[in-house]
Every structure is written in C-alpha cells, then in structure tokens.
Chains A and B, each alone.
Chain A
Amino acid sequence: MAHTTLIAAVAVAFLLGTSATAQAAGPTDPQIAHIAYSAGAIDIAAGKQALARSRNKAVRAFATEMVRDHQAVNDQALALVKKLHVTPQPNPTSIALAKQAAVALRRLSHLHGRSFDRAYAANEVAYHKTVNGALADTLIPAAHNGELKALLQTGLTLFREHQQHAEHLSANLK
C-alpha cells in the first residue's frame, strides 16, 4: 500500500512538475493527447493483467469495465487526433507514466490470489486519483482545442466513476 502511494506521489510530482517547469504555459495539445492516450492504455494493460490473473468475480467485472471504457475513450481520442491532423507527442509526463506503469505491472505479476486482487484494486484507486488530479488541474485547463477539451472532460467524468468504483472494490477486498 505504501508502495502504491509512493508511485502515485511520484506520478503527481511528474505531472505537476512538468507543467510548472518545462512548459511554463502548460503542455501543448499534441502532448496532452499523448498523456491522455497513454493514461488510458496503461489502465487497459492493468485490466488485461487482472483478467489474466484474478479469479475474483468483482475484480474481473471491474477489470472488464476498465478495459472496455478506456478503450472507448482511446478509440475516440485516436479518431479526434486524426480529424484534427494532430500527432500525439511523447513528453516527460507520458514517458514517466509509462515507466511507472511498467513497474506496477511487474510488481503485480509476482502476486497471486487475494494479494493480487488487493494490490490491483489499491493501485487502481491511486492511479485514477492521480490521473483525475492531472486532468482537472493541468490537462483540461491547458487544452486549446475545444473538442480535445470536451473529450478530456468526458474522460474526467468517467474516471471519477472508476475511482469511486475502485474505492468500493478495494474496501470490499479488505
């Protein structure tokens, strides 16, 4: 749990730090698109890992929902960047997110049964909290294109639902 919190804290530091220092005016739309898409892809990978490892009905239902919802947002995001002729641009924030996600996937790959379920649920709570904070405080205010902003806003509404669902799941697994 302490490990999960640390990962979340590091992620927040990256997300906020990047916008405050490297990009005084905030991330650009191509960078925001890459961060948002990466955030979705990370949770899809986590959900697929849970579906491969967990036998718990509630965990599997949650993971199925994560894969389905994040895939829907990312499909929409891809269609939008294509329409806007924007090429998502990798940046320190999206790279840091991917690195931390790889660490979490590795850590969870050594866990089994109830230990895995609890760690997955706790990680989902921390992860959605981090991404939601970044969306609300940094990414949505910085987005220039109206359609991108609207999609991020829908993403935030959805991910807040997920955070609530993850908190409920996590509490039931204790």
Chain B
Amino acid sequence: MKRIFGIAASLTAAMLVTGPVAAKPAARTATVVVDKLAFGALPSNLRVGDSVVWVNRDIFRHSATAAGHFDVDLPPGARRRMVVRRAGAFTFLCKYHPGMKGVLKVSP
C-alpha cells in the first residue's frame, strides 16, 4: 500500500513538473459515422495529433480515402481510429462508392 502511495506521489510530482511544458492542448477524438451511403457530420476543429474514429453503420464495405494521405478500410460494422498527422484540407471519398465524399480540415 505504501508503495502504491509512493508511486502516486511520484506521478503527481512528475505531472506538476511537466505541467507547464505540456501546455499544448491534449489530443482529442472525433467520431465520423458512415450510414446509408453517406459520411455524417465532420469535425470542424481538428488539430494535428487529434484522432478521427470512423464508424461504419452500413451493411456495405466502405473506405475513407484521401489519395496520398490516408486510406481507411471500413468493412460493415467497422470502427477504425486514425491519427491526424498533417495540417490541411483533405478531400476524401469512399473508393467503392465515389459519390460519398467530404473534406477533412485540420489546423496545425
């Protein structure tokens, strides 16, 4: 028990010490739902380091594909996480159903 308190105290100390350095906002996770052959609402305030979780609620296989940037395979019922590494506006589509498309905007 003492040992656990010891570890907790060390962690707290470490967090306090690193606190000011880690002023950058913590990475967040946004969810994009794919349903009825359409991408749902897209996050408007994504930043580099954040994650996007793609959730496919359709009975069809889809993908979230931005040529040269990302290509997330989404079998029916899939839930796939993707970390955003670069800033920019990325036009993406489903490579199987190209009418399904969107633009993912990421700030630095």
Q: For the complex, count residues of A whose C-beta is within 8 A of B.
A: 15
What size tier do the contact residues of chain B reach? 10 to 19
Output the least CB separation between A132 and chain B (Å). Answer: 13
Count of A-B residue pairs with CB < 8 Å:
30
Chain A residues closer than 8 Å to B98, beta-carbon distance: 161, 164-165, 168
Contact across chains for A76 and B59 when beta carbons are under 8 A apart: yes
The reply to whether the CB of B97 lies closer than 8 angstroms to some CB of chain A is yes
Which residues of chain B (68-108) have a CB below 8 Å from chain A?
Answer: 76, 96-100
Chain B residues closer than 8 Å to A73, beta-carbon distance: 59
**A161 and B61 alpha carbons, distance in the complex (Å):** 13
Binds B, one of A4-12, A22-30, A99-107, A152-160: A152-160
Chain A residues in the interface with B (C-beta under 8 A) = 65, 68-69, 72-73, 75-76, 154, 157-158, 160-161, 164-165, 168
Chain B residues in the interface with A (C-beta under 8 A) = 36-37, 59-61, 76, 96-100
